[in-house]
Chain A
Amino acid sequence: MEQLTTILLRAVFVENLALAYFLGMCTFLAVSKQLRTAIGLGAAVIVVQAVTVPLNNLLYRYFIAEGAMTWAGLGHLDFSYLGLISYIGVIAAAVQILEMILSRYFPNLFQAMGIYLPLLTVNCAILGASLFMVQRDYDFAESMAYGLGVGSGWAFALITLAGLREKMKYSDIPEGLQGLGIVFMTVGLMSMAFISIAGFEF
């Protein structure tokens, strides 16, 4: 149990996917203009990460890894080269299913998330989390903690940046730096703040 909390906390703060590994940057920079949409997208990312990382974990452990198919008497097969294409398939399918469930049972939430939900398929934070999970060889419980952690961490960073950008709207920024330029600088400063957390041991 203690180990799971460690994985979760590390994924949120120390190994924050947005600010330490820079995954999902395109969405991160594009959707952080308004606090409201940022909160919606953040929630969507938490759900998608918490679903896809454990799913990909099962897929990896029982089908893709070398010798994983022993349960079917096919222990000599190694499908690891199919890893990438399977993970992205699972992610696309999970996003699609989530979209259907939301539109059927939670239409309000679905409306709020709008176009950001389908875009999550091509968000590198989602695929990146699954790839890190495989690389670190997490078991099922660990992968659940990790998925929840990276999702929350990414959402946390996104919402913080959106809050900062809303405040910055009224500041007097040099012309060429307005918009994208100043956002880069802001993210750089945020990332420096997060690096200072990296020294903590959880």
Chain B
Amino acid sequence: MKTRLRRALVTPLVDENPVTLHILGICSAVAITNSLYSALVMSAALTAVLCFSSVVISVIRRHLPHSVRIIVQVTVIASAVIVVDEMLQAFAPTTSQILSVFVGLIITNCIVLGRAEAFAAHNPPGVSLLDALGNGLGFSLILCTVATIRELFGSGGLLGREIFTSAAAGGWFEPVGLFLLPPSAFFIIGGIVWLIRSYKPQQREQAEFEIIATDSVRNR
């Protein structure tokens, strides 16, 4: 029992990371990672919504008719997101403005509905909570890694503090503007995926085609 609980919490971190293995929740992973601060807020918001919705859906799982489950799950998630959104607007209005529509888009973040469908709908609340927490942290891990790289090399600082003195201020560091632009997030996530898959070959995808040398090539 204990190993099962631990597995629910730990495997989503690297082994079955929702972002790099299941390609879920990419939208926000790419869109708001140009600063570490917004990535942290987003991670916290998503993890909170994920934990809440997983527990609720797990509690009502036996009373939910199969045919209407998706719409009920979406409603539960949407309610949680509204609470988070209203709280951000009330207590951190500037952050809420930076994140703009992306807080609302947690509703359609595939991780949340994906975990509700795949795990919380068949498991008791305790394990579901740990699974949600694990997946939330796995998502946060990727999000914060990408955000750290982007902010550090894009502007030479982290969380608004200067780390590399920029050339304009008399230092040596020339900020790489590309890192602040959206495409860099794709390159970084692609790189992380490559790294994880070189380290854990079982995550590699089956190649659709194999390249072999044919006679005509060999004889050339």
Contact residues of A with B, CB < 8 Å? 19-26, 29-30, 81-85, 88, 92, 121-124, 126-128, 131-132, 135, 169-170, 172, 174-185, 187-189, 191-192, 195
Q: State whether A29 touches B81 (Cβ < 8 A).
A: no
B91 contacts A by Cβ under 8 Å: no
Q: State whether A92 touches B183 (Cβ < 8 A).
A: no
Q: State whether B79 touches A191 (Cβ < 8 A).
A: no
Q: State whether A88 touches B107 (Cβ < 8 A).
A: yes
Q: Can you name 20 A-B residue pairings with CB atoms under 8 Å? A: A26-B110, A81-B86, A82-B82, A84-B81, A85-B75, A88-B74, A122-B108, A122-B113, A123-B108, A126-B108, A127-B105, A172-B211, A175-B197, A180-B23, A180-B193, A181-B193, A185-B187, A188-B184, A191-B186, A192-B183
Q: A188-B184, A195-B182 are in contact. Are A29 and B209 (CB under 8 A)?
A: no
Q: A176-B197, A178-B207, A191-B186 are in contact. Are A84 and B107 (CB under 8 A)?
A: yes
- Tell me the residues in window 109-160 of chain B with beta carbons closer than 8 Å to chain A beta carbons: 109-110, 113
Q: State whether B183 touches A191 (Cβ < 8 A).
A: yes
Contact partners of B71 in chain A: CB under 8 A? 92
Q: State whether B205 touches A184 (Cβ < 8 A).
A: no
Chain B interfacial residues counted at CB < 8 A:
49
B27 contacts A by Cβ under 8 Å: yes
Give Cα A177–Cα B203 distance, bound, in whole angstroms: 11
Contact partners of A82 in chain B: CB under 8 A? 82
Q: State whether A22 touches B26 (Cβ < 8 A).
A: yes
Partner of A92, one of B74, B110, B198: B74
What 7 A-B pairs are tightest by C-beta distance, nearest first? A188-B186, A184-B190, A179-B205, A25-B26, A176-B197, A176-B198, A131-B101
- Tell me the residues in window 170-194 of chain B with beta carbons closer than 8 Å to chain A beta carbons: 181-187, 189-191, 193-194
Contact residues of B with A, CB < 8 Å? 20, 23-27, 30-31, 70-71, 74-75, 78-79, 81-82, 85-86, 100-101, 104-105, 107-110, 113, 181-187, 189-191, 193-195, 197-198, 201, 204-205, 207-209, 211
Q: State whether B186 touches A184 (Cβ < 8 A).
A: yes
Q: State whether A26 touches B23 (Cβ < 8 A).
A: yes
Q: A122-B74, A184-B187 are in contact. Are A85 and B27 (CB under 8 A)?
A: no
Partner of B105, one of A19, A128, A172, A181: A128
Contact partners of A128 in chain B: CB under 8 A? 27, 101, 105, 108
Q: State whether B183 touches A189 (Cβ < 8 A).
A: yes
Residue of B nearest to A127 (CB): B108
Partner of A178, one of B82, B100, B205: B205
Residue of A nearest to B75 (CB): A85
Give Cα A180–Cα B75 distance, bound, in whole angstroms: 31
4 other contacts beyond A178-B205, A180-B205, with CB at 8 A cut-off?
A88-B108, A124-B109, A181-B193, A189-B183
Q: State whether A121 touches B74 (Cβ < 8 A).
A: yes
Contact partners of A179 in chain B: CB under 8 A? 204-205
Give Cα A40–Cα B16 distance, bound, in whole angstroms: 31
Q: State whether B190 touches A181 (Cβ < 8 A).
A: yes
Residue of B nearest to A23 (CB): B27
Contact partners of B86 in chain A: CB under 8 A? 81
Contact partners of A122 in chain B: CB under 8 A? 74, 108, 110, 113
